[in-house]
Amino acid sequence: WNHTNITWYFYNSFNVDDIIEKAFALYSKHSSLTFKKDFQCPTMYITVTPTVHIKYSERKTCPYDFDGPGGVLGHAFVPYPGMNQTDIHLDFNENWDFTMNLPAYDKSSFFLTMAHEIGHALGLQHSYVATSVMFPVSFTPKGIRDLNEFDLDRD
């Protein structure tokens, strides 16, 4: 990113803007980045979508289809140089938990998945530290409410 003011818009009817704002807050409280909802000209397009879907930042079909419940929860992209727009896609067919609590065994945390995918959109790679928000598997042994040292100590 060549700027610190990032705008976003969630293109779905779910009422989860507060959860998305909390996920962005994990990054703004530890950096100079600011995040603001903007439906007119977002730099991050966020969608919850079924199998085949659109990559709005490029106006074309996303090359990565979703696989239904229990598989891939989402994916995100770092913007191409000079583009300054990107997408975050979450799988519509997952059994999402839209609370800030630990999800039941058969549900996935929308908050933690959103925080993870925002990290990818900002350029973070997977961490193999189980308490990291960038851990590649939806596993929350004690719940994660903040970025850990590994998430913060990245170039």
DSSP type of residue 5: E
pLDDT tens digits for 39-87? 999 999 999 988 788 888 888 899 998 988 888 999 999 888 878 899 9
DSSP assignments along 59-73, one per residue: TEE-S-----TTS--
pLDDT tens digits for 129-150? 888 889 887 655 445 556 556 5
Is 134 annotated to bind a ligand? Reply is yes
pLDDT tens digits for 25-35? 999 999 999 99
Chain position carrying tokens 């913007």 = 79
pLDDT in the model for residue 155: 47
Contacts of 8 (CB under 8 A, 6+ apart): 20, 24, 35, 36, 37, 38, 42, 43, 44, 45, 46
CATH, domain 5-149, list 3.40.390.10, 1.10.260.40, 3.50.70.10, 3.40.50.720: 3.40.390.10
Is 153 annotated to bind a ligand? Reply is no
- The pairing of strands 74-76 and 44-49 is unpaired
Tell me the average pLDDT of the chain.
86
Is 94 annotated to bind a ligand? Reply is yes
Contacts of 15 (CB under 8 A, 6+ apart): none
Nearest-angstrom CA–CA distance, 21 and 145: 13
Q: Kindly report the pTM of this predicted structure.
A: 0.87
Nearest-angstrom CA–CA distance, 99 and 18: 10
- Residues labelled as active-site residues: 117
